[in-house]
Copies of this chain bind each other. A is one copy, B any other.
Amino acid sequence: MSDYNLNLKRIVERPERYFPRNELLTRADDGPIFRYTYREYCSRVRRVASALDRIGVAAGDRVATLMWNNHQHLELYFAVPCAGRVLHTANLRLSDEHLAYTINHAGDTAVFFSPDLLTQVESIAPLLKTVKVYVVLGEGVPDTTLAPIYAYEDLVAHGDPGYEFPEIDERAPASMCFTSATTGNPKCVVYSHRGIYLHSQAICNADIMAISQYDTILPISPMFHVNSWGVPFAGVWMGSKFVFPGQRPHAEDLLKLIDEHRASFCYGAVTVGIDMMNLLERQPFDITSLRALMLGGSATPASVMHYFRERHGVIVYTAWGSTECAPIATAVCIKRDQRDLDLTDEIAIRVRQGLPVPGVEMKVLDDDGHAVPWDDKAVGEVYVRGPWIATSYLNEPRSKESFIDGWWKSGDIAAVNTDGVIRLVDRAKDLIKSGGEWISSVDLENTLMAHAGIREATVVGQPHEKWIERPIAFLVADPAAPRPGDAELREHLSAHGIARWWLPDRFVFLDALPKTGVGKFDKKLLRQQIDAYVAQGSVAA
């Protein structure tokens, strides 16, 4: 028993042997959808893995991808680590400087990229210190300053479909992702083969995501963002059918894919879920095939859950985690004696962040390091640990601020109810300090988004002479409804139990809220340029 490694070879060899007929699809921008089977997929994984030596990518080397959600990316998810290299799914939405920083920090020797990103890659290339080779997706090599460069299909064509994956120690690194740090450079988390294996098992659990061979999975969450929540690894293990949305999908593309391919499991950022909801109100799509729509990245408003459930019969699930958690740490849980609750009470549980998934330990500590009481009032910072939770960043002095005695200190502030279910109140840094008390920006945002006239809302603290900070709300109006005024919004918040002193000093309507590379509202930018955003917006009357 002692020598049997938990590694990614165990995962990809299962559909190869036992589910070769199941399909994987990718939406093309132009032309028909691409489709092939696991038989071809696994053969190509072996071919690409075998080609790494030839292009000078040695065992132990790091390999960057700058790619969208497609089948080639999924090939590299296994080809690179199963060949004993380390996959770095670089975040193509980072600034050139940050992107180059991550590639240099990882020490990547190769960059695999999508041809539509050629200009971006060319512009960062002079900044890259360790990259020795480029590979561009497709049959041919474009006219470029990048050198040496290979066409991906050339690697496949000359690769060996009979290549045998080496036996890899389970503690060896398999992949790495960078957090989008709010200050300073991104920080690098390394995932071991063992960590990914165990995370995959955990999310296949019937009480968590229940990923199955019967699923048709539509991954909206980018594959360059925390391994697309780890679902690609789990789905391949089970032999699930995949439908990849390809490059730059819009809500309409996604809904069309769900409808046409009868997707059963779809997951992505809450903001994308809201986009889909808004489009569904205007345009008919059949999304009843979804057994689960999983939304994350920020809190899902109850109104969104009600919409999908009542109008389409689709259950919205939530989870909580982070780059440091690979990423799933908690998942929503309706306990067996809560199954008969009415929908409003059930959704009041579903909007919370749930329970630790089997394998993860959690504690919520107050400023003195004591566990907070489970009264849903006291708040503290969330700490987690477990077999796939990081215990350090790669070559990073800031590690000691975030990892304490094997626990990851999340920076998220939560309350815990009597069932042990957490409710995220805010990021520690997004809590608004007004007088001697804290105001939760998340509570304000969720309540504002529950108003029919509000499509999106984010609340940040504005420096204030007397109160230190005061909340200011940035909003996007729903064009289909009358735009609410200042007084109406205050009344709405009060009616939903928001304390008087929590009410934002201002409500500013923008055409769009700034978002980060992974689709979250960019509070950092709003805070930094708060005056400019206020000036460009229109203030509610």
Contact = CB atoms under 8 A, between A and B. Distances in A.
B21 A358 contact: no
A335 interface: yes
Given A201-B202, A206-B212, A358-B237, A420 B17 contact: yes
A494 interface: no
A13 B192 CA distance: 25
Copies per assembly = 2
A339 B335 CA distance: 30
A10 B205 contact: no
Contacts of A251: none
A340 B388 CA distance: 38
Interface residues of A, number: 53
A385 B13 CA distance: 14
B2 A213 contact: no
A458 to B, nearest CB: 32
Contact of A355 (B13, B18, B389, B406): B18
A36 interface: no
Contacts of A356: 14, 18
Given A201-B202, A206-B204, A358 B6 contact: no
B192 A22 contact: no
Contacts of A6: 198, 387
Interface string A232-266: 00000110010000000000000000000000000
A291 to B, nearest CB: 11
A206 B201 contact: no
Contacts of A212: 206-207
Contact of A205 (B21, B171, B206): B206
A195 interface: yes
Interface of A: 1-4, 6, 10-11, 13-14, 17-19, 21-22, 171, 192, 194-195, 198, 201-202, 204-207, 210-214, 237-238, 241, 333, 335-337, 339, 355-356, 358-359, 361, 385-391, 406, 419-420
Of all A-B residue pairs in the complex, the 10 with the closest CB atoms, nearest first, are: A206-B210, A201-B201, A206-B206, A206-B212, A18-B420, A4-B387, A204-B205, A207-B212, A18-B355, A214-B336
